[in-house]
Copies of this chain bind each other. A is one copy, B any other.
Amino acid sequence: MSLITVGTMAFDAIETPFGKTDKIIGGSATYVAYAAANFVQPVQQVSIVGYDFPQEEMDELKSRGVQLEGVEIVADKKSFFWSGRYHEDMNSRDTLVTDLNVLADFNPQIPDSYQGAEFLMLGNLVPAIQLSVIKQMKKRPKLIVMDTMNFWMEVAMPDLKEVLKHVDLLMVNDAEARQLSGQFSLVKAAKSIMAMGPKYLIIKKGEHGALLFHGDNVFFAPALPLEEVFDPTGAGDTFAGGFIGHLAKTGDISFENMKRAIIVGSALASFCVEKFGPTRLKEVSKEDIDRRIEQFRQLVSFEIELV
């Protein structure tokens, strides 16, 4: 089943305690595409880039089944650029530079060839743009997943709340869930957010794993304990890509299958952080992914007799 993913394709310059990069490929939709393409084709990309975005990267994405009809190329502007520095704990970072460039004009148009997609992944963008994408879909997708961030809660809360009424699943981190709901307890935050629209909520806790809420059901997936987290950039988008990729592959949006999808997403994210940018994602094979999923199973499996 096909999957539309809307988000940024960008350049990032990253500093971590382990090293520093010049401009490398980044952007939420890039990570989603590399992760999801392991499971489903086509991945129908909607994004915007400038004249400087490398053709080799486009070719690489195409070779993996990513369609680029929905990627606008602006001939006289540069691609979105972000630069940041991570603190030692890798859970927090300082933004050094944000050059919107082409992103300032992003007004995504869903190509006719993408109509009918059953899965829609809305990356973190201006809420009004996310809503415009939903409204362009002639047939409502079977599952609409959205990401967002604290910034939109500060500057565009009414728009954000409007989009929330139209999506099935929201993915945020723990701080964002608390800010959006005004509740400190994540269980209470989840109830409050699900009352705003989404029937499903994923709260990402970085190295502490992720929680999936639906009604009174809760599922928890840990992050894999790693020797090194080399660069967390894109881990959340990679998680999202693995998650929705697995759902789109199976076509099954039951809670049980979402649990599996979270494990798949966590496995992909655990690769992403091993090298700078999407480098590691381009290297992993089906066998690598399966092996890592098995590690997740071992990490949490226990047998207990209640006597």
Q: Specify which chain B residues have a CB less than 8 angstroms from the CB of A221 in the assembled complex.
A: 300, 302
Q: A300-B220, A306-B293 are in contact. Are A208 and B211 (CB under 8 A)?
A: no
Report whether A226 and B259 are in contact in the complex, using a CB–CB cutoff of 8 Å. no
A189 vs B111: C-alpha distance when bound (angstroms): 51
Interface residues of A in 194-252 (CB under 8 A from B): 205, 208-209, 211, 218-222, 225-229
Within the complex, the shortest CB–CB distance from A287 to chain B, in Å, comes to: 10
Q: Specify which chain B residues have a CB less than 8 angstroms from the CB of A300 in the assembled complex.
A: 219-222, 300
Q: Specify which chain B residues have a CB less than 8 angstroms from the CB of A226 in the assembled complex.
A: 185, 187
Q: Specify which chain B residues have a CB less than 8 angstroms from the CB of A220 in the assembled complex.
A: 222, 225, 299-300
Q: How many chain A residues touch B (Cβ–Cβ < 8 Å)?
A: 37
Main secondary structure on A side of the interface with B: mixed
Report whether B306 and A225 are in contact in the complex, using a CB–CB cutoff of 8 Å. no
A303 CB-CB contact with B under 8 Å: yes
Stoichiometry (number of copies): 2
A187 vs B205: C-alpha distance when bound (angstroms): 18
Report whether B299 and A227 are in contact in the complex, using a CB–CB cutoff of 8 Å. no
A166 CB-CB contact with B under 8 Å: no
Report whether A218 and B299 are in contact in the complex, using a CB–CB cutoff of 8 Å. yes
- Which partner residue on chain B sits nearest A287 by CB separation? B306
Q: A88-B184, A205-B208, A208-B208 are in contact. Are A260 and B225 (CB under 8 A)?
A: no
Extra contacts besides A220-B222, A264-B304, A300-B300 (4): CB < 8 Å: A187-B226, A222-B300, A256-B303, A263-B302
12 contacts between A and B (CB under 8 A): A185-B229, A188-B227, A209-B222, A218-B299, A221-B300, A222-B222, A256-B303, A264-B304, A290-B306, A297-B302, A297-B304, A300-B300
Interface residues of A (CB under 8 A from B): 88-89, 184-188, 205, 208-209, 211, 218-222, 225-229, 256, 259-260, 262-264, 290, 293-294, 297, 299-300, 302-304, 306
